[in-house]
Structure 1
Amino acid sequence: MGNRPRQRSMVMGNRSFIILSAEDFRHAESRDPESLDVCLHKVQSMRLHGPQQLLEDHRLEECRLHDHGLQESRRPFTYFRGKGLQLGRPEEILRSDGGYVRRWKSSEILRCTQVDMYETTLEENGLLIPRYIDAPGVAYIHEGSGILGVVYPFGGEFRQKSYVRQVNTGDFISIPDGVVFWLYNNRSEPFKFTCVADTSNAPNPGEPSKPYHLAGGKEQLVGGLLHGFSDDMLSEAFGVDVSITHDIFSRQKDVTITRAGKKFNFPYLEGTHRDGENDVAAEFTFSMHSGKADLIVPDGGWLSFVTRNKLPVLSKVGLSAVRVKLEPRAMIAPLWSPNAHQIIRFLRGDGRVEVASNDGESLLQEDLKENDVIIVPKFYPSTIIAGERGLEFIKILTSDSPTASYFAGGNSVYKAIPAQVVAEALQIPLEEEIYIRQQRRKDEVILPAVRQHEI
């Protein structure tokens, strides 16, 4: 290699960046044209959006680009070939008399898709202490029932609107970042829900979301936010004697979850779901029961979805969900989503998932069982097929209005392309293409099992 000019660098935060000269660009192009594209993208991003956007773009590049020598740790999603798309089992991070929290350990795939995922279980009289979170999130209740409370600012005035409602298995909850909420188990059986937070706009994108508890004790790395203020400051703010604020701090023991001393009573509890546009109490919840399915396929199964069109608050959250139940050996038509990563938790039954990559290789082929979790990145084609026991799962998508395209079924992209074009592309006789085109004409999204004598 010949001598190259000395490169200048700049530091922003804890990141160092090389300032590339014209000769650097020519060198990058000679090594790999894609390297030049990366450089140009950085310069354009800096010009349009400033240093902060450049930092954010850098984080994304680490996840989606091959290592061309300009950075040390870029990770294309093909890097996760094999079990890298699976999250494994969650780890318990907190336990008290009122319940416990399990979190899926932060991993490269979670950082790349910029989501955080955890499961909360509330025992009888368990109370999830009022808090707000630095990232918008959603929750799906997959066991038990309880009470949800939300405090939400309305209009331009400095006012807070509060509501309390019963939520049950199969319900979907959506909470914007910075909005106070709490949950309480008023039944004897455990109350379990899975939560997914979108950290893309959080203070630390790709890292676990951070709750800010309005009450609770103080332990290492976690505690009620009031502990961060002095007694004098709080006594002045609340208009009480310092001895009262000191007494409040001394009484708080549990962190995140506590057990109520006696059962709460809410005589004004709202127990129905969204009935109209003016039902303010339904702004944050949506029922995803089979009775409200959006698609029912005989011998195939059913699905129910919620997007911002059904739950407007999702436009502030940026997420959506699909609940699917497949009959034995039925499958989801192979698909890809151009605008949403898919976080899928399998609730009941068994089956198999396959994910392909753009290089024609398998990214994942894995048998499924209850409580497995996988992440399918946007653009990557995937399919799920149920086993002999059927399969039920919940899918959280990182868009409030996701789209998808399908390879098979009545709405297949192949059927939207002229037959002669498809035949030539696949290098098959036109008659064979037409025969394939005529199959599955009435099946869309959910494909029932095909019996051998029907083929």
Structure 2
Amino acid sequence: MPSQQHKRYSECQIQRISAQEPNRKVESEAGVSEYWDEKNEQFECAGVAVVRHIIYPNGLFVPGYTNSPRLTFIEKGRGIRGEMIPGCPETYQSSQEAREGRQRFLDQHQKVHRIRQGDLLALPAGVAHWCYNDGEEPLVAVVLLDTSNDANQLDRNHRRFNLAGNPKQDRFETRPRGTEEKLERNVLGGFDTRILAEVFGVSIETARKIQSVDDRRGNIVRVERGLSVVRPPLTREEEERERMRGSQPNGLEETICTSRLRENIEDASRADVYNPQAGRLRSVNSYVLPILDFLKLSAERGTLYNNALMAPHWNLNAHSVIYGLKGQARIQIVNEKGEAVFDSVLRQGQIVIAHQNFAVLKKAVGDQGFEWVAFKTNANAMINTLAGKTSAIRSLPLDVIANMYQTTQEEARRLKYNREEETILLAPTSRSSRPQTAFA
């Protein structure tokens, strides 16, 4: 049987790619889940699937787990999230004074985390989690699932195993007139009801409730009076300390129970690359968030100001799944034959994949500039640029450049040094600042 890696590489027969939007939509009581077509050739080549969840205020995304490691970017909103990590202690506890001075536990559960716009959340395959929107606007989460990761021992289809609810059939799937809407079942729904009642020591009626036999609310359910969970309040100073902690050690041996699963990548002051005339770039790899080494995934968050460019570059060891957050950019992607397999505008909410070693160029167009998040299929994804201070061209001797391009020494010098102090984010020149009407 061919390995996962071999399957990933053997399916990359890409002649032309296009910007992709979700092609399936599943509506729940308190939210919507939108799915990109994972059978599209660019997703199949990268071995990934992408989902966008929109959770309305007071919406609870019920617990579930997937067959693949996942990275989640919080595009908008805020909320709380909990992971159900096997073997980890219930460290959050609530109690009250009972008779005879004894303490009676009201509830205890694993740690919960506050999440907000700009957070990058990592989760291993098979680890269940839940999420609740306690804000006043929809919480939008973009999820990348690495279905070709070695941690996935099933096929390369995205599979979600729900611990509650009955996921609804997607709205674009047709069914014969007069037939009832088809509901999938949560994993408890497949067991014998009587045996399930015995397992939990509850009544048959309660067992039927956890099987969600008649529950048509979907994966995202409404919490009528707000969600009550044990969580310590954060003062403004504590929030600041949490933000500034970044990649500092947590003081404990790094285990699955104590490791950080979250890193905010929205803060402009923590950019890795910043050019006041061009934009900023922040990368998060396993050195910043160690859990990513286990997941074999990483990410970058970028901003290009109006007409600024991200120098031509290629990903040495990863595919890059680019999701537009704001504005638009003309993006060109070139394969090994020198063919532009993508040359178009990527807009907010669209995805395009720059596959490993394919050369990529971004140029912001329009008054809003361009903002994006890119998920990468390597814990320490690396790029090499073709222009700028740290580029491949800059590292070559002048005479090599002159001979390989048949230029004069002066032309070779300009190629090598014209962007003398800029690295990957390039300010627009007077020529490139002109309106790009053909691609606007």
Report the Cα distance in structure 2 between the residues aligned to 1:153 and 1:327, rounded to whole angstroms. 44
**Partner-residue secondary structure (3-state), 1:124:** coil
Report the Cα distance in structure 2 between the residues aligned to 1:453 and 1:238, rounded to whole angstroms. 67
Letter in 1 for 2:68: A
- In the alignment, which of 66, 72, 79 is matched to residue 146 of structure 1? 79
Tell me the alpha carbon deviations over residues 351-393 of structure 1, each in whole angstroms, 9 at most, x when there is no partner. Answer: 2001112112222110232222111110000110111321111
Q: Does 1:363 align with 2:341?
A: yes
Partner in structure 1 of residue 263 of structure 2: 286
Contact 2:319 2:354 in 1 (8 A): yes
- In the alignment, which of 184, 187, 195 is matched to residue 222 of structure 1? 184
- In the alignment, which of 300, 323, 344 is matched to residue 322 of structure 1? 300
Tell me the alpha carbon deviations over residues 426-454 of structure 1, each in whole angstroms, 9 at most, x when there is no partner. Answer: 11122321232221111011111123599
Report the Cα distance in structure 2 between the residues aligned to 1:292 and 1:62, rounded to whole angstroms. 39
Letter in 1 for 2:32: Y
Partner in structure 2 of residue 180 of structure 1: 128
Report the Cα distance in structure 1 between the residues aligned to 2:310 and 2:29, rounded to whole angstroms. 41
- In the alignment, which of 198, 211, 218 is matched to residue 255 of structure 1? 218
User: What RMSD over aligned residues (CA atoms) do the two structures have, in Å?
Assistant: 2.6
Tell me the alpha carbon deviations over residues 211-240 of structure 1, each in whole angstroms, 9 at most, x when there is no partner. Answer: 111111376463211011112322232233
Partner in structure 2 of residue 166 of structure 1: 114
Report the CA distance between 1:263 and its aligned residue. Answer: 0.3
In our comparison, the structure showing a higher alpha carbon Rg is 1
Report the Cα distance in structure 2 between the residues aligned to 1:331 and 1:303, rounded to whole angstroms. 12
Report the Cα distance in structure 2 between the residues aligned to 1:302 and 1:57, rounded to whole angstroms. 33
Report the Cα distance in structure 2 between the residues aligned to 1:242 and 1:328, rounded to whole angstroms. 62
Contact 1:154 1:161 in 2 (8 A): no
- In the alignment, which of 143, 153, 169 is matched to residue 195 of structure 1? 143
Matching of residues 357-436 of structure 1 within 5 Å: 357-389=335-367, 390-436=369-415
- In the alignment, which of 15, 21, 26 is matched to residue 94 of structure 1? 26
CA distance 1:323–1:61, shift in 2 (3 Å)? closer
Q: Does 1:245 align with 2:207?
A: yes
Letter in 1 for 2:413: I
Say which is worse superposed, 409-418 or 274-283, in terms of deviation.
274-283
Higher relative contact order (CA 8 A, sep 6+): 2
CA distance 1:214–1:247, shift in 2 (3 Å)? closer
Report the Cα distance in structure 1 between the residues aligned to 2:31 and 2:109, rounded to whole angstroms. 28
Structure 2 residue ranges without an equivalent (≥5) = 92-107, 169-181, 252-256, 434-440
Report the CA distance between 1:317 and its aligned residue. Answer: 1.5
CA distance 1:182–1:365, shift in 2 (3 Å)? same
Contact 2:9 2:45 in 1 (8 A): no
Contact 2:167 2:218 in 1 (8 A): yes
Contact 1:344 1:395 in 2 (8 A): yes
Letter in 1 for 2:225: K
TM-score by length of 2: 0.81
Letter in 2 for 1:265: S
Partner in structure 1 of residue 48 of structure 2: 115
Report the Cα distance in structure 2 between the residues aligned to 1:321 and 1:371, rounded to whole angstroms. 17
CA distance 1:361–1:251, shift in 2 (3 Å)? closer
Tell me the alpha carbon deviations over residues 233-285 of structure 1, each in whole angstroms, 9 at most, x when there is no partner. Answer: 22232233434313443564423211112201345246544634227777111
Matching of residues 266-345 of structure 1 within 5 Å: 266=229, 268-269=231-232, 272=239, 273=242, 275=245, 276-278=248-250, 283-289=260-266, 290-345=268-323
Report the Cα distance in structure 2 between the residues aligned to 1:109 and 1:124, rounded to whole angstroms. 34
May I ask how many residue pairs the two structures share in their alignment? 384
**Partner-residue secondary structure (3-state), 2:317:** coil
Contact 1:114 1:205 in 2 (8 A): no
- Higher helix fraction (1 or 2): 1
**Partner-residue secondary structure (3-state), 1:111:** helix
**Partner-residue secondary structure (3-state), 1:424:** helix
Letter in 2 for 1:283: R
- In the alignment, which of 63, 70, 73 is matched to residue 137 of structure 1? 70
**Partner-residue secondary structure (3-state), 1:366:** strand
Report the Cα distance in structure 2 between the residues aligned to 1:270 and 1:175, rounded to whole angstroms. 24
Matching of residues 48-67 of structure 1 within 5 Å: 51-53=1-3, 56=4, 59-60=7-8, 62-64=10-12
Report the Cα distance in structure 2 between the residues aligned to 1:227 and 1:215, rounded to whole angstroms. 9
Letter in 1 for 2:347: K
